Structure 1
Amino acid sequence: MKKKKRIKELGPDRPYLQIHQQSSDRGRAYTRGFSSTSYGKRSWLAGCDVSHAFYCFPCLLFQSPGTKRCGQQQGIAEQLDEGYRIGIRRHNEELALRGHDESETSDNPGIFRGLVDFVASLDFENATVFKGTSKTVQNELLDCMLSVVREHIIQEARSSDFLSIQPDETTDIATQCQLVLVLRYIDAKSNVQERFFEFIPLHSTTADSIATALKERLAVILPEDQKRKLISQAYDGASVMRGTTAGVQRKMQDVYPNAHYIHCYEHQLNLIMQQATSHIPKLPIDYRQSDGTSTAVPSIQCLSTERTSSAVFKLYETQVTLTLLPSERQEPLPCCWRIRILSFFLQLFHNIMPHVDLLYAKLQKDDIDSVHIRGSIQQFQQDIQKIRNSLHSLVDQSSEGGSQPKKQRSLSPEVHERIAAEVCDTVLRHTLERFPFTDHLINATLRQADRFEQYKMVFPEDALSRTLKAYPVLDGSKLKTELSLIYCKEEFRACCGALDLLQLFMENNLEEVFSETVTLLKILVTTPMTTAEAERCFSTLKRIKTFLRNSMTQERLNALAMLSMKKRLLTEMTDFNQKVIEKCASQKERRANFIFK
């Protein structure tokens, strides 16, 4: 052992060996030789100039009689230990519960068979009665799991003070219209939760069909005496959803009068960028890369309406040679000026899109609230205004190194600056119009930390009266007293957003002292400003219900989607396994009762 320790301290011997091997491939013979650089790439490699061979250094130190060296020929399955092979079986697939081949020799039997084999290797490996691999047993277990998770979510929703919904619809691979229902509420630990509840199949996408499906599910979640808890409903802005007379939101408000309508702010920001790019002329230009390939440049209209600006960044930062498309060479506008126009607008949107991406990223957070969003939108407006004020220097920079062609007044730097100003003005104007924070959203202005000094001098009576009108559950006089005290305290101004202030009250046991303010904060936090979680559910739907699994039943789809999207919830439920076992055992008689007389 001492010799082995000494050898380990010295490290592997790495002599320069000239080893050559004759090989052939597809009828062509060649000679392979060893390179000394292999020592640096493989730290375990050791050589011997006596035997003129290579060895694995750990194997030389720790090999015992009867074991095989790693250099000997053996299969991959033999080289992997038992624990690693179990890990591969468990994580071979993410969502495909059943495999195409579930036999014992299958390399990809599916998640369910893999878990059964894993448990069997620990407990009843030699069982001859229960195998648990039938489709019926799988579906029963999935139904029990889904039922347990739903009961937990319903219990959390009923115990919360307020509830919001985020419905959205899409079409799956089997051309079946699916309506997703996402619930948003504050749990017992004062954390905001957005829970996927169900995929609901629809026979039609009319307002009546969608509203009826939502009312049926909400009747299960909220009892008759808790209808006041539903305070908001967020949609993507489709006409069938937002209609004020016959839309889904109107039909829902007839039953749930406190359910105020929210138009998803992400969709509205996308519409703002579409309006901004409508002022830019189309310039059919392609770019030629270093390898000679030529690709058409997408129009600025397409690049800017994407929710990410990767296309703008890639085209701007990549060093390419722009050339005129062959179909457009007969037009009077010179090629160099077409390229210069495109470069100018690429520079403009290269400055704008980072701020758009930053606002998108903030809107997609689960714990975002209306107070935080209002501050982010104001910062976005300030950033766009700075770009608007610096357009003159941007135009001067783009016009350097070239002269204006004759009889081409439309290409003057003044025209460039005018179009760029229209783009910025459109973004600013539509931002004010689409994000006004009026009506029921005006309550966000009561919690703006940057206005506390102003509110300390002049209390916002108008905003308070509108908030009380939108939410009658609040006590106006007590809320005014509590807010007046909050405006005077410096420690409350440091809280960023309504959620931080709510958690501050809860951690310091101040919910009874500021009872009305806590209620207002819960309303602010529970109100969803986007439908990002519903969009994420659609991504999971596409991964689960694929072309090869398009005949999946609705119950199985909901169960797999719930297990996939709420993995953290399952780990937090310490009694999840026990509840599933009890529910599965109580569903029906699984063993005959023999009575002897």
Structure 2
Amino acid sequence: MEMGKVEPNIPLENGRRNIAQSMEPSLVSGSTDRHGMDLEEAQAQPRKNGPAGSPSKNRRLTQPPARSHAHEAHQAHEQRPPNNLAAGRQTPPPSPAPPPRLLAVAASSPSAASPPNAVISRAPEPARGTGPRGEPGCTCRGARRPRRPGLSAGNFREFLDWYKDKNKDVKDAFENGQGNALMICSRIRKDLATCCALEVTKVIKNELGDKNFAILVDEARDCLIKEQMAIILRFLDDNGELQERFLAIKHITDCTSAGIKEALFHVLKYHGLSINRLRGQGYDGASNMRGEFNGLQKLIRDESPYAFYVHCFAHQLQLVVVTVAQCCLVIADFFNSLPLIVTQVGSSCKRKDALLAKHQDDLIEMMENCKISSGTGLHQETNLARPGATRCGSHLRTLLRVYTMWNAVVDVLAIVIEDSREHTSQGGASGLLVQMECFQFVFIMIFLINLLNITNMLSQALQRKNQDVVEAMRLILDVKEALQTMRDNGYEPLCKQAKHFCEEHGIDVPNMDDLVGAMGQSARSKNKVTRDHYFRVSIFSVAIDATLTEMNHRFNEVNTDLVDCMSCLNPANNFSKFNDEKLIRLAEIYVEDFTQVEWLLLRYELPTFLTNIRRSEEFDGCPDISTLARLMVQTMKHRNFQLVYRLIELTLILPVATSSVERIFSAMKVIKTDLRNKISDDWLNDLMVCYCEKRMFKSIPDDQIMIRFQKKKNRKGHLPPEYDVIS
């Protein structure tokens, strides 16, 4: 038996054992002072005094020992000196410390008045709350383990200690409060997070009231490879402001449309939200979400026919960009070479440091020559990143960084070529360098920057929370006009810009009148065109035409009857598109929200509304429907024109993009990390609600959370009586 260990094979009765069975008779009866006993002798005595025929190690006790031995153990316990560790009041004498497990057994042993065969728990490791030598301390829940110098107590308790040093009231509460009511146990923290999340959700549901709403749903995997579904509510509040509130995140095991529908309905039912009030759906373009016959949107419309589905506009625009990247052979080769350049330049720490150092030298030189200005937030340290098919704006971001770091990228590629010991170890850096220092590469790079800059402005506008579908369709039409203008008048300025860039960086500019193969064909081909025709027709016009065609194909909502009727509410240009018949048709589409009598009244309310708004100075220059709704609430016109305001509400809650849901998954990566990957689903949901709706969470009084926490279960600590009158 090793020092400090208890024999593992001693049988337990219902998880507990007799102290006389846990220690050998000679070990207990032969010691008057438990600190002065030689442990080696105590370990040797059982082998010498054990019953005949029993094994020397790991012997099983089939019968309890004689009562004389137990009585001797009891007498030894009574004769124990008062200043031992079991008393826990005075310092023990300077003698060799016994094993920790035996100290824990002695500390938890019964008092002197206990019967000899008293049953106690088996000695565990020194529990949280015991002293460094094993002496008994506060073993209640939430007790704190004394910290050794240089050791961390964990993020939560380190932060708690820091906050106690900053706040005297908190420090006094912990030092002078009850030791069994510290409220720092993991279960207590989870209960507090649950109470906070319930209060935030209560505020969201009170803000929603009995109004109609739309849902935004998306799925993503967490760090533990669990599929999580985030749900956001989109509605118009009492102030006429368009709100998108995070409702819940739920782990789903069935990613089919039927499984997602069941999980979604379970969340809505749990929060008391009726599916009959659902007036819009916003998802991505996955087949299980947007399927025409078996998708989630179809299954929900079977339950709620007026929950119209809108494919996320930001996703559709990103699909347009991906199509442009593969529209012709030359541009496809360009985007195939771009990730290789990024890999070659940033594949090692040495190359990345060299890239940043050379770019910094270029910036300092340009500042000295007054080519660029310095200021707060300008010219931050950056690096190259690969373009992603699912990341909005990633293609433009990569092109802009290559454009601004051109000299540094070229120098690093040259370093890779020089440092390679063999020609096969350079990884194609020489070919990439030759390809970059070519007029065609520069022309395509600058052309795509100008083209994607137009679509990127639309992407950022679509991702705003208060964006409505009418304004989104107007922005799409503006982008189409800008692309058409670029196709008609943008080629000559583009050529000048490319030639100027080549002259600055020492790149040869070819003669635009030379003959080359058409559409990237070989120079030996009989079908030859001038180089100017090749760049204008085979690259410039093809890419813009592909963009316009794809946008007309993707954004087909502009041709639907629903959006066409909603566009009549646009207040731009003094309600130039206002049409009574189309607005009445919009009310007929939402037949659940308007009765036949209200249809009749709407015919007389619409002309009066238009005349009243045009005469009001507050509505002069009103840009969009969101501003119109807010101004109507401020001027109390939403009460005079309730039917028109109801049409405005139905128009605004129709979703445009699911970027708000994607922000939720970005927050999930902050909360659930690789170091906290075992966090439970309920706790994750509670933390996500408090984190994503932090402004609302800060506005909730602490008293409400304390009362809910007190009512959750009966606890040792209770609130003062005056809290009972708080509702």
With the length of structure 1 as denominator, give the TM-score of the two structures.
0.72
1:440 counterpart residue number: 562
Q: Which residue of 456, 476, 483 corresponds with 1:357?
A: 456
| Cα deviation digits, residues 138-195 of structure 1 (max 9, x gap) | 11111221222222222333x1421111111111111111111111112223222211
1:80 counterpart residue number: none
C-alpha RMSD of matched pairs (Å): 3.8
Rg larger in structure:
2
Correspondence 1:586 to 2:586: no
More deviation, 349-358/336-345: 336-345
| Cα deviation digits, residues 231-250 of structure 1 (max 9, x gap) | 00100111100012111111
Q: Which residue of 402, 407, 419 corresponds with 1:315?
A: 402
Q: Distance in 2 between matches of 1:153 and 1:445?
A: 29
Q: Which residue of 251, 255, 279 corresponds with 1:201?
A: 251
2:589 counterpart residue number: 469
1:261 counterpart residue number: 309
Q: Which residue of 218, 239, 246 corresponds with 2:294?
A: 246
Return 5+ residue gaps in structure 1 as ranges. Answer: 1-97
Aligned ranges for residues 401-480 of structure 1 at < 5 Å? 401-403=509-511, 407-410=516-519, 412-418=531-537, 419-435=539-555, 436-437=557-558, 438-450=560-572, 454-455=576-577, 459=579, 461-462=581-582, 464-466=584-586, 468-470=588-590, 472-474=592-594, 475-480=598-603
| Gap change, CA 1:337 and 1:238, over 3 Å in 2 | closer
1:366 counterpart residue number: 465
Q: Distance in 2 between matches of 1:477 and 1:122?
A: 69
Letter in 2 for 1:353: L
More deviation, 342-351/127-136: 127-136
CA contact (8 A) 1:184 1:194 kept: yes
Letter in 2 for 1:346: M
Secondary structure, counterpart of 1:415 in structure 2: helix
CA contact (8 A) 1:282 1:300 kept: no
Identity of aligned residues (%): 21
Question: Which structure's residues are more often strand, by fraction?
Answer: 1
| Gap change, CA 1:198 and 1:506, over 3 Å in 2 | same
| Gap change, CA 1:537 and 1:150, over 3 Å in 2 | same
1:212 counterpart residue number: 262
Q: Distance in 2 between matches of 1:533 and 1:318?
A: 32
Letter in 2 for 1:526: I
Q: Distance in 1 between matches of 2:242 and 2:451?
A: 32
Q: Which residue of 165, 171, 182 corresponds with 1:121?
A: 171
> Aligned pairs, how many?
487
Aligned ranges for residues 286-305 of structure 1 at < 5 Å? 286=341
| Cα deviation digits, residues 291-345 of structure 1 (max 9, x gap) | 98799999989799744722111112334275899887999x9957972111111
Correspondence 1:148 to 2:199: yes
| Cα deviation digits, residues 247-294 of structure 1 (max 9, x gap) | 111111122222111111110110111112212240437599999879
Q: Which residue of 276, 280, 283 corresponds with 1:235?
A: 283
Correspondence 1:384 to 2:492: no
| Gap change, CA 1:187 and 1:107, over 3 Å in 2 | farther
CA contact (8 A) 2:566 2:583 kept: no
Q: Distance in 1 between matches of 2:146 and 2:684?
A: 20
With the length of structure 2 as denominator, give the TM-score of the two structures.
0.60
Letter in 2 for 1:563: C
Secondary structure, counterpart of 2:465 in structure 1: coil
Letter in 2 for 1:312: L
Letter in 2 for 1:110: N
CA contact (8 A) 2:229 2:250 kept: yes
CA contact (8 A) 1:449 1:493 kept: no
CA contact (8 A) 1:303 1:309 kept: no
2:23 counterpart residue number: none
CA contact (8 A) 1:351 1:387 kept: no
CA contact (8 A) 2:316 2:554 kept: yes
Letter in 1 for 2:183: G
Return 5+ residue gaps in structure 2 as ranges. Answer: 1-141, 346-350, 360-382, 418-425, 501-508, 521-530, 719-727
More deviation, 237-246/183-192: 183-192
